[in-house]
Amino acid sequence: MTIRADLSAAVGHTPLLRLRHASALTGCEVLGKAEFLNPGGSIKDRTALGLILDAEQKGLLRPGSIIVEGTAGNTGIGLALIGASRGYRSVIFMPETQSREKIDALRVAGAEVRLVAAVPFKDPRHYVHIASAYCESLNDVRPGSAWFGNQFDNTANRDWHAATTALEIWEQTEGRVDGFVCSAGTGGTLAGVGRALKARKPGVKIALSDPTGSALANYVNRGELLAEGTSISEGIGSSRITANFQGAPIDLAWSIPDQESVPLLHQLLREEGWCVGGSSGVNLAGAIRLAKQLGPGHTIVTVLSDAGTRYQGKLFNPAFLREKNIPVPDWLDKAFAV
């Protein structure tokens, strides 16, 4: 019998899925790591587990501790679920602009959710700064009672992806991976997987697929943190270089508009049955670009980060899509016709 002892043991070991349309279009094997199959529904379960295990090992998390984090949603869900399974409660700060589905999922997971204004990182009211200050206030009253996950600048994040996500990709492709591409929020996945794959195969190409409105692609390509445009994507993109992103071995970077990424999501759902979120569309667009650049016969891996049901009111809402000048497929229009 194969039995997982607890929730933590169920995180990871997700399958690689052959993406038929992208593979046929490019003549490559384009593969998606099905991270939406993690128990909390996203790749951030890995991040949450890595951060928690590191904190426990260092004595920063003890029985009865409170987990505090600032998040766009998915890391908070992972922390809340894994934390609950290990005896911790969670207080999560997140921007009020995030999807209702993620906010509700956090509350169902048992987290105390505190919504704050969506402001730039330099503003002291940014959700990361507020979470950090709140954790400090708890520890001022009861030293050691709370732990701040700090997913953006705690490099246990990228270390865990190097040790788990990258190793799984390497083993599942039997070392025949030629390129890895994904977006970056904290930068943990891209930097961790990139470093570990490069260590095993120096010639592997690592690419950043960045949504418009983020400054990271411009930083990689031109050395300047310049954001251009906007995106409906949540949880990815950044206006700063995090500790996790710093030094990531990136060979190529693209800025991906919603008009390119969202139709790929709709096509993936309609033709292949995979319902995934906005960051997965950005990742898939990047995988297609990387495959075309490397040429036929290569193996490209990307990440299907979370499920599209967490963004149903945006990604699959014809009125919202039209408001954002994003094409609406006929089948989606018919599905919501009254």
Describe the strand order of the beta sheet including 89-95 as a list of residue ranges: 112-116, 89-95, 66-70, 146-148
**Catalytic one among 33, 44, 102, 314?**
44
Active site residue 324: no
For residue 229, how many other CB atoms are within 10 A of its CB?
Answer: 11
Catalogue the active-site residues. 44
